[in-house]
């Protein structure tokens, strides 16, 4: 802190309670049972995951449910040398990726694993990895593994 | 920035909710006027405002411009550590203090206080927590902490004068 | 010259303490769908969307991004506003500007807040300057309590006057199917027996925290005439601000400079010289009973010091000369990002003659206000002509 221009350190710390709503609740319960559930407007091809309860494009309820097979395409990825402190992987090298699951129009962001870095490429096929212990949370998915 | 997301939990009659915390650290630049104010408070225990050259209002907190006249302030004016209560309350309602993430201890008294020599008034704590003993118009005096660090809390609170 | 613009449709959710059955996006969709149905429009008919919300309350940054499919924003021109307590009215005023300017013909305005997801008093405390005021501030409750003590001192209003306001609001709310706190049997004695949240403000002197959303459809003249049998024409709008620190305005509630400025501006634009006589109804943003009393003075409903007399004489009750908050007002419902828009929506319903059990007969001229931040006022005048 310079004596001429003071800098005052402060923090803002506020707890919140987030309501997932019915569609996300069903999605989270699906994760507990190792299911990937997408939703869409009945009769329309567009399926979203995480699911929306209402399609803003069709302006109609999106209440038709589909279980996705758990395979997809890696559309982008980032290699993080040291994961930030707030993550369970704190300090470790992790890869985040955007995965377009087969049967869905939207993408999920999650951890990506590959046997070797050379396997990490846009367009690579991936499949879901489940955690053995699941609690209806996004971390029930351990990540997506590149299939070689 | 730390966003800590908890496990989803089902509360009775309350559907599913996911608890999480937003905990962010900031560094505020005090700026020239506040820096000078708080340095004086820390080093000498004296309270200074600035005067508008146009309307002659003495502003606390000190600031570079009088918002009413749109005139640059420049003249520093020392004000008293005694003043008058403009508005006051005793807070009973419990709430989480965003500066700590913990519940702020209640009850506590706080007031808008116009220090003698100032035109505007200042928020601060009151020592008194019995609303029956508080009133608009009563006179108060600042009680300083023995160790001052250059914050508003260098004044512990204001004490009612007889 | 600005084009003529009217509110042609409204939509509200049933406001309650906690909507755990829907998330924020789904809550918004409810209000938007109702407003579109009310107008007989499809989402494709909307040219642009204006959104209002106060972010720290739910902890989402840019909730408009996360919720876009809930308010029909895909591919449409849109803007989001965050002006504290006034935000709902500011959002309506922004929609008015866009329609009046000729930029867009049919505009959707949406205000929303899910207070149950955060800690309102905690989030509001971050409004305070971290160097000066945040340490002492106790949310809106503490601020209004301090201001109320000054106002009581200046005006001579009593606890009983305040309690009468509390009773009026919660009883009026019984005629409003969307209102949160409906208390048909509330008495002055019960209000006076409720504990102090922060002296002199008692629990029943203060607004609740609500989850809710509100939507409006605004249209320029030719479309408005087609979309509504009786549109609510926007005759004048104003926003006004006071200085930043709580102690800058010497008497605060007793001397709300932003309320005086904004209301005088819209009165002047509409040729209103005596608001009690000229206006048929007012929907004002009164967070606390004492604030409503102070606003009577600052909105020119009475002379300084006469607000107590106004409520004693029943001037602002449902059958008085100027009914204030037939909807129950903020004292019955406060979902902050929606609240000031609800004032506008309720004023519009009165003008359209569609306010149901809370309708003021033959309402032709209505005032709606928003109030927030430390001292920020929005004002709108709606009319039949």
In this predicted structure, what is the pLDDT of residue A67? 97
pLDDT digits (tens, 9 = 90+) for A105-146: 999 999 999 999 999 999 999 999 999 999 999 999 999 999
User: What's the pLDDT band for A86 if we cut at 50, 70, 90?
Assistant: confident
Alpha helix positions (H), C103-138: 120-125
pLDDT digits (tens, 9 = 90+) for B73-102: 989 999 999 999 999 999 999 999 999 999
Do C240 and C292 fall within a single domain?
A: yes
DSSP state of C373: T
Average pLDDT of A18-24? 91
Q: Which residues of B touch A18 (CB under 8 A)?
A: 17-20
pLDDT digits (tens, 9 = 90+) for C6-41: 999 999 999 999 999 999 999 999 999 999 999 999
Cα distance between residue B36 and residue C169, in whole Å: 48
Q: Which of C195, C227, C259 is the last residue of a domain?
A: C227
Range with the poorest average pLDDT among B143-152, C345-354, C369-378? C369-378
Under an 8 A CB cutoff, do C146 and B110 touch? yes
In a domain, C125, yes or no: no
Residue B64, chain A, CB below 8 Å: the answer is no
Chain A: closest CA distance from residue C115 (Å):
10
Give the domain range for residue C53.
Answer: 5-119+210-227
In a domain, C20, yes or no: yes
Do C21 and C65 fall within a single domain?
A: yes
Do C160 and C256 fall within a single domain?
A: yes
Do C200 and C272 fall within a single domain?
A: yes
Cβ-based neighbours of B87, under 8 Å, separated by 6 or more: B111, B112, B121, B136, C146, C147, C148, C149, C150, C252
Cα distance between residue B62 and residue A100, in whole Å: 56
Say if CB C370 and CB C377 are below 8 A apart.
yes
Q: What is the CATH number of the domain that holds C53?
A: 3.40.47.10
3-state DSSP call for residue C196? strand
Chain A: closest CA distance from residue C253 (Å):
28
Do C187 and C325 fall within a single domain?
A: yes
| C256: pLDDT strictly greater than 70 | yes
Under an 8 A CB cutoff, do B152 and C126 touch? no
For chain A, give every domain's residue range.
Answer: 21-146
pLDDT digits (tens, 9 = 90+) for C144-170: 999 999 999 999 999 999 999 999 999
Average pLDDT of A7-14? 91
In a domain, C252, yes or no: yes
Average pLDDT of B122-132? 97
Do C166 and C222 fall within a single domain?
A: no
Global pTM? 0.94
Alpha helix positions (H), chain B: 31-44
Cα distance between residue C183 and residue C327, in whole Å: 13
Residue with tokens 């129950």: C328
CA–centroid distance for C53 within its chain? 13
Count how many domains chain C has: 2
In this predicted structure, what is the pLDDT of residue B15? 55
Both structure tokens of A66: 């589909």
Say if CB A14 and CB A7 are below 8 A apart.
no
DSSP state of B154: G
Q: How many CA atoms lie within 13 A of C44 on its CB side?
A: 3
Q: Give me chain B's average pLDDT, please.
A: 91
In a domain, C124, yes or no: no
In a domain, C128, yes or no: no
In this structure, how many other beta carbons lie within 10 angstroms of the beta carbon of residue A95?
Answer: 19
User: Of A3, A8, A19, which has the smallest distance from its Cβ to B28's Cβ?
Assistant: A8
Cα-based distances in Å from A65 to A41, A45, B67: 9, 12, 58
In this predicted structure, what is the pLDDT of residue C373? 67
In a domain, C134, yes or no: no
3-state DSSP call for residue A121? coil
Do C309 and C376 fall within a single domain?
A: yes
Do C270 and C214 fall within a single domain?
A: no
Q: Which residues of B touch C136 (CB under 8 A)?
A: 110, 123-125, 152
Do C289 and C219 fall within a single domain?
A: no
Residue C123, chain A, CB below 8 Å: the answer is yes
Which of C338, C41, C361, C332 has the alpha carbon at shortest distance from C176? C332
User: What's the pLDDT band for C374 if we cut at 50, 70, 90?
Assistant: low
CA–centroid distance for B91 within its chain? 15
Average pLDDT of C307-321? 98
Do C175 and C110 fall within a single domain?
A: no
| B12: pLDDT strictly greater than 50 | no
Over its C-alpha atoms, chain B yields an Rg (Å, rounded) of: 20
In this predicted structure, what is the pLDDT of residue B9? 54
Range with the poorest average pLDDT among B107-111, C38-42, C126-130? C126-130
Do C109 and C154 fall within a single domain?
A: no
Chain B: closest CA distance from residue A135 (Å):
8
Q: What percent of chain C has pLDDT over 90?
A: 90
In this predicted structure, what is the pLDDT of residue A2? 63
In this predicted structure, what is the pLDDT of residue B2? 43
């Amino acid at each position: 802190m310079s004596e001429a221009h003071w800098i005052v350190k402060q923090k803002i710390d506020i707890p919140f309670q987030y309501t997932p709503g019915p569609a996300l609740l069903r999605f989270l319960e699906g994760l507990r049972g190792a299911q990937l559930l997408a939703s869409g407007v009945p009769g329309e091809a567009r399926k979203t995951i995480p699911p929306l309860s209402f399609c803003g494009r069709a302006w109609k309820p999106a209440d038709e449910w589909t279980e996705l097979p758990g395979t997809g395409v890696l559309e982008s990825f980032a290699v993080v040398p040291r994961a930030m402190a707030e993550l369970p992987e704190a300090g470790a090298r992790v890869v985040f990726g955007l995965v377009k699951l087969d049967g869905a129009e939207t993408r999920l962001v999650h951890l990506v694993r590959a046997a070797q870095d050379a396997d990490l490429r846009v367009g690579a096929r991936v499949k879901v990895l489940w955690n053995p212990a699941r609690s209806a949370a996004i971390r029930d998915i351990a990540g997506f593994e590149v299939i070689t | 920035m730390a966003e800590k997301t908890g496990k989803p939990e089902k509360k009775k009659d309350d559907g599913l909710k996911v608890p999480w915390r937003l905990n962010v650290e900031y560094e505020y630049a005090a700026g020239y006027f506040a820096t000078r104010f708080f340095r004086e408070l820390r080093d000498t225990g004296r309270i200074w405002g600035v005067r508008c050259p146009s309307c002659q209002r003495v502003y606390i907190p000190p600031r570079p411009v009088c918002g009413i006249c749109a005139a640059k302030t420049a003249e520093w004016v020392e004000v008293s550590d005694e003043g008058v209560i403009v508005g006051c309350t005793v807070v009973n309602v419990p709430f989480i203090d965003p500066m700590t993430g913990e519940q702020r201890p209640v009850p506590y008294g706080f007031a808008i206080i116009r220090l003698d020599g100032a035109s505007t008034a200042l928020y601060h704590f009151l020592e008194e927590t019995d609303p029956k003993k508080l009133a608009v118009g009563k006179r108060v005096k600042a009680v300083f902490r023995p160790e001052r660090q250059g914050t508003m809390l260098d004044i512990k609170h204001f004490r009612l004068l007889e | 010259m600005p084009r003529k613009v009217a509110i042609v449709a409204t939509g509200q959710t049933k406001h309650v303490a906690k909507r755990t059955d829907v998330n924020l996006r789904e809550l918004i969709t409810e209000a938007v769908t109702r407003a579109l149905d009310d107008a007989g429009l499809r989402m494709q008919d909307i040219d642009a969307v204006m959104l209002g919300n106060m972010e720290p309350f739910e902890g989402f940054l840019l909730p408009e991004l996360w919720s876009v499919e809930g308010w029909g924003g895909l591919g449409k021109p849109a803007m989001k506003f965050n002006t504290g307590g006034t935000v709902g009215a500011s959002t309506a005023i922004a929609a008015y500007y866009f329609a009046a300017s000729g930029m867009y013909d049919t505009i959707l305005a949406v205000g929303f807040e899910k207070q149950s997801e955060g800690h309102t008093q905690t989030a509001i405390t971050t409004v305070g300057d971290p160097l000066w005021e945040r340490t002492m501030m106790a949310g809106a409750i503490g601020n209004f309590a301090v201001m109320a003590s000054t106002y009581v001192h200046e005006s001579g209003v009593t606890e009983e006057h305040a309690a009468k306001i509390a009773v009026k609001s919660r009883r009026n709310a019984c005629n409003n199917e969307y209102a949160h706190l409906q208390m048909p049997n509330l008495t002055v004695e019960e209000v006076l027996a409720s504990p102090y949240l922060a002296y002199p403000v008692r629990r029943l002197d203060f607004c609740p925290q609500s989850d809710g959303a509100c939507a409006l459809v605004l249209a320029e003249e030719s479309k408005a005439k087609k979309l509504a049998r009786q549109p609510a024409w926007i005759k004048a709008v104003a926003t006004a601000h006071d200085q930043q620190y709580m102690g800058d305005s010497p008497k605060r509630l007793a001397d709300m400079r932003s309320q005086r400025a904004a209301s005088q501006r819209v009165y002047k634009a509409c040729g209103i010289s005596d608001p009690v006589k000229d206006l048929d109804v007012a929907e004002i943003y009164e967070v606390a009973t004492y604030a409503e009393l102070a606003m009577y003075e600052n909105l020119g409903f009475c002379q300084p010091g006469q607000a107590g007399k106004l409520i004693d004489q029943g001037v602002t009750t449902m059958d008085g000369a100027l009914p204030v908050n037939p909807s129950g007002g903020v004292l019955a419902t406060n979902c902050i990002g929606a609240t000031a828009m609800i004032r506008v929506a309720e004023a519009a319903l009165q003008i359209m003659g569609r306010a149901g059990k809370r309708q003021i007969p033959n309402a032709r001229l209505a005032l709606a206000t928003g109030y927030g931040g430390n001292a920020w006022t929005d004002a709108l005048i709606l009319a039949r002509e």
